[in-house]
Amino acid sequence: MPPLIFLDVDGPLIPFRARPGSRPATAQGEGGNPLLDRLDPADGRRLIGLGCELVWATTWMHEANETVAPLLGLPRLPVVDWPDEDEDPGDGLHWKTIALTRWADGRPFVWLDDETTGADRRWVAANHPGRALVHRVDPLAGLTDADFAAVQRWLGQASPQT
């Protein structure tokens, strides 16, 4: 089974700043959201090219398949349904960390998000039996060549890495 790649939308795929060379945001944007103009269709091709199982790990939830996936040239992807708990996991953990680790169920995974910290990397390393890369994407830039290179390096490694 290939590794999973958990994808956040806001920040990694829709950067908080317009990408260099991207078209200016329109008043309505794609699908009525002007920030969707910041999506880069090349990200979809590059993500598919990693040869992993892509999974939406975003508050967009199923709307990511309706709105974001077609603009990136992605097929419908599995979606992590978040627990209804409003409890703070504590210890500086992101609220997604435990749910994603459970969803992976021991499978190797990459988590691309703009809100992860060292606390999430340490927790995953201590509580997930498989390999995992918890990779923070700069939310101002979105996914970059350096982010894809980090994932490709991790995919090429045989030893555990977080």
Give me the number of domains the chain comprises: 1
The segments of the chain whose pLDDT lies below 70 read 21-32, 86-88, 158-162
Residue 88 DSSP class: -
CATH number of the domain where residue 132 is located: 3.40.50
pTM, two decimals, is 0.89
Residue 26 belongs to some domain of the structure? yes
Q: For 127, phi and psi rounded to 5 degrees?
A: -120, -5
Give the per-residue pLDDT at 160.
45
Contact 134, 6 (CB under 8 A): no
Residue 69 included in any domain: yes
What would the pLDDT profile of 51-64 be if each residue is shown by its tens digit?
A: 999 999 999 999 99
Q: Is residue 161 in a domain? A: no
pLDDT at 43: 97
The CB density around residue 28, as the number of other CB atoms within 10 Å, is 11
Please report, in angstroms and rounded to a whole number, the separation of the first and last CA atoms in the chain.
19
Query: What is the helix, strand, coil percentage profile of the chain, to 5?
Result: 35, 15, 50
Which residues form the domain of 125?
4-156
Q: Which two structure tokens, joined as six digits, stand for 126?
A: 């201590």
Predicted confidence at residue 18, as pLDDT, reads 85
In a domain, 162, yes or no: no
Asked if residue 71 belongs to a domain, the reply is: yes
Report if residue 23 sits inside a domain: yes
Q: What is the pLDDT of residue 110?
A: 98
Q: Is residue 123 part of a domain?
A: yes
Residue 139 to residue 11: CA distance in whole angstroms? 4
Separation between Cα atoms, residue 6 and residue 110, nearest integer Å = 6
